[in-house]
Amino acid sequence: ELVSLAKKSDLPVRKVETWFRRRRAQDHPRLMKKFCEASWRFTFYFTSFFSELALLYDKPWFWDHTVCWLKFPQQPLPPVLGWFYLLELSFYCSLVATLPFDVKRKDFKEQIIHHIATITLIFVSYCANMIRFGMVVMLVHDASDYILEFAKILHYLKWKRVCEAVFSVFAVVFIISRLVILPLIVYYYFVTKVSLFPISCLISAFLMILQLLHIFWSYVIIQMIFNVILRGQKRQDARSDTEESDRSEEEDLEKNK
């Protein structure tokens, strides 16, 4: 087909190949779109994390998990926590609504599972008056998200050394918060302090789904640190699209020509 098109257009075959690669690259997200998406998410996660810290810092049940479940489910709901809970729910609903328009990543399916599980957990825990537990879980998750988005921004700005340092910090915070604090402290107290009933079983199931995703992403993060930072290989984000690889192929064709 390439030879036939080259004859019809009176062009070399390599020029026809280059045209198709450039045309395909037009459908891939540009750097500015990636930068804007990362900046918006960094702004939200950063604001969310430190707002949660400010809201929970003076709460005695935040520091003592045994107090967190006292008199459950007859626990008063402060209006500010209720509004913040709904804000988080609306944010993750917006992420699902904008998935067709966002930058496509290699873990697109995992992201869909993550968003659905998160929305379900927020909605069910709100209905069951598990606001205290839900706020702690959201705080643990948001602790690393804004660092990742900041590392992406630095990557798009091509500040390599600073990006690698920030990404290393993200990896440490992610692994400690999601593979240590969440299962061994937060989830442990949830299982031991709350009696089994349909809602708690549903929440446990979706928390296990999130934990499996955390293990998968931790493996990807460790692999990236080992290959990119320690061994000095060319950076290839496991969650990135194929735009950069297409451009490199295009440049090689131009050089070989």
Pick the residue with more confidence: 255 or 218? 218
- Mean pLDDT on 11-20: 79
Q: What pLDDT is stored for residue 172 in this prediction? A: 93
What is the spatial distance between Cα 181 and Cα 214, in angstroms, rounded to a whole number? 12
> Is 60 exceeded by the pLDDT of residue 56?
yes
Q: Which two tokens stand for residue 59?
A: 């709460």
Eight-state DSSP code of residue 106 = T
> Percent of the chain having pLDDT more than 90?
32
The least confident of 57-61, 69-73, 84-88, 216-220 is 69-73
Domain boundaries, the chain: 31-214
> Is 90 exceeded by the pLDDT of residue 171?
yes
> Is 80 exceeded by the pLDDT of residue 5?
no
> Is 50 exceeded by the pLDDT of residue 91?
yes
User: For residues 42 and 155, is the Cβ–Cβ distance under 8 A?
Assistant: no
- Mean pLDDT on 38-62: 90
Confidence of residue 216 (pLDDT cuts 50, 70, 90): very high
> Is 90 exceeded by the pLDDT of residue 34?
no
> Is 50 exceeded by the pLDDT of residue 80?
yes
Q: Which two tokens stand for residue 41?
A: 């998410």
Q: Which two tokens stand for residue 26?
A: 């037009």
Q: What pLDDT is stored for residue 16 in this prediction? A: 76
- Mean pLDDT on 36-56: 91
Q: What pLDDT is stored for residue 32 in this prediction? A: 81
Question: Which of 177, 141, 148, 174 has the alpha carbon at shortest distance from 163?
Answer: 148
Q: What pLDDT is stored for residue 246 in this prediction? A: 43
Pick the residue with more confidence: 61 or 182? 182
Q: What pLDDT is stored for residue 208 in this prediction? A: 92
Pick the residue with more confidence: 104 or 188? 188
Radius of gyration for the alpha carbons in the chain, expressed in angstroms and rounded:
23
Q: What pLDDT is stored for residue 26 in this prediction? A: 59
Q: Which two tokens stand for residue 109?
A: 């399916």
Eight-state DSSP code of residue 220 = H
What is the spatial distance between Cα 83 and Cα 87, in angstroms, rounded to a whole number? 6
Pick the residue with more confidence: 161 or 233? 161
Strand locations in the chain, DSSP E? none
> Percent of the chain having pLDDT more than 70?
85
SS3 label, residue 206: helix
Mean pLDDT of the chain, nearest integer = 81
